[in-house]
Structure 1
Amino acid sequence: MLASGFRCVVAAICVALGLLALQAGADPRDVAQIKSRQDKFRDMGGALKAINDELKKGRIDWDNTVVSSAQTIKNRSDYLLNWFPRGSGPESGIKTYALPAIWQNNNDFETLGKLAQVEAAKLNQVALSKEVNALKAQVEAMGKACKACHDSYRSPDFSKDNDN
């Protein structure tokens, strides 16, 4: 009975989102694609912040925070190049921080995405090793990989809207 009620609520939310997207002239699949992409990047950013916070504390919670956060970053990064299908940029009519340059310079974008994947895999390995100095260095490398992509392919409006 409870599961049925839950399904009804989920269905109602999906219908409402679809209607909003249609009213705005956007394809509901694009809305879902962009929201999913943003949520996954938010997960990755939150996980990297959690690791940074542990480093700042000086007393690192390896098992409950660092290892799981590094795993989140690695797992999400494995798929990040699939999160940008054509049509899921500003031309969709949906607010997104993804710049058209992603599709215009796709080879460069993919190169940077693959670099982020490599750095994420290294971060995961370093977290499992539980070596503090290696973790500090790899967090910095991961941050640089993220920044390299953000500098060219994410709208500068992102930081204004997110107080970053």
Structure 2
Amino acid sequence: MKRMLSLLSLLALASLTGGPATIAQADDIDDAIHYRHAAMEVIAWQMGPMSRMVKGDIDYDAEAFAERARRVADLAPLPWEGFIADSYDRQGTHALPKIAANRDDFDAKAQAFEDAAVQLAEVAGDGSFDTMRARFAEMARSCKACHDDYRAD
């Protein structure tokens, strides 16, 4: 009897929440938010030491810088698939809802970041610190441009 009441309670709750489809959608949205956060954190992990090298906070190591630049170029395409419909106004996300209304601009900014990351990887470790620093600055500006428009503080 207790088991039957539990089952009936669960079914009643499911009907109020829209059932399994709504629950699955909520899980998909939460998974997408988690995925894009994780992808951004991995990219930030790689960019941190490069930023410190460019600023002179730590010694410049051309080989290490080049390796991190290649990793960022490889990782740059990953976060964007996590920006799915209905995932911009959830607790735990900094993504602004206006991404949905401005998707073409958002996608263009994402592509600019990817392009800048590839361009940095192409020059990193080739010997010209000034060229590498300029390309790193371009990549950082592409991050900032998207964050300025589409990320809440």
- Could you state the TM-score of these two structures normalised by the residue count of structure 2? 0.76
Task: Give the CA deviation at 1:128.
Answer: 4.0
Structure 2 match to 1:105:
102
8 A Cα contact 1:44 1:76, kept in partner: yes
Q: How does 1:1-164 map to 2 (within 5 A)?
A: 27-55=26-54, 56-57=56-57, 59-63=59-63, 65-90=64-89, 93-156=90-153
8 A Cα contact 2:116 2:139, kept in partner: yes
8 A Cα contact 2:39 2:78, kept in partner: no
Q: Structure 1 unaligned segments of length 5 or more: list them.
A: 1-24, 157-164
8 A Cα contact 1:80 1:113, kept in partner: no
Aligned-partner Cα distance in 2 for 1:123–1:155:
27
Task: Give the CA deviation at 1:57.
Answer: 4.4
- Could you state the TM-score of these two structures normalised by the residue count of structure 1? 0.71
Q: Structure 2 unaligned segments of length 5 or more: list them.
A: 1-23
Aligned-partner Cα distance in 2 for 1:108–1:60:
35
AA aligned to 2:120 is L
- Percent of aligned pairs sharing the same letter: 22
Which deviates more, 34-43 or 74-83? 74-83
CA deviation digits over 1:70-122, x for unaligned, max 9? 122111212333221112221xx331000011111111111111111110100
Task: Give the CA deviation at 1:58.
Answer: 6.3
SS of corresponding position for 2:124: helix
Aligned residues: 130
8 A Cα contact 2:29 2:84, kept in partner: no
Aligned-partner Cα distance in 2 for 1:85–1:138:
30
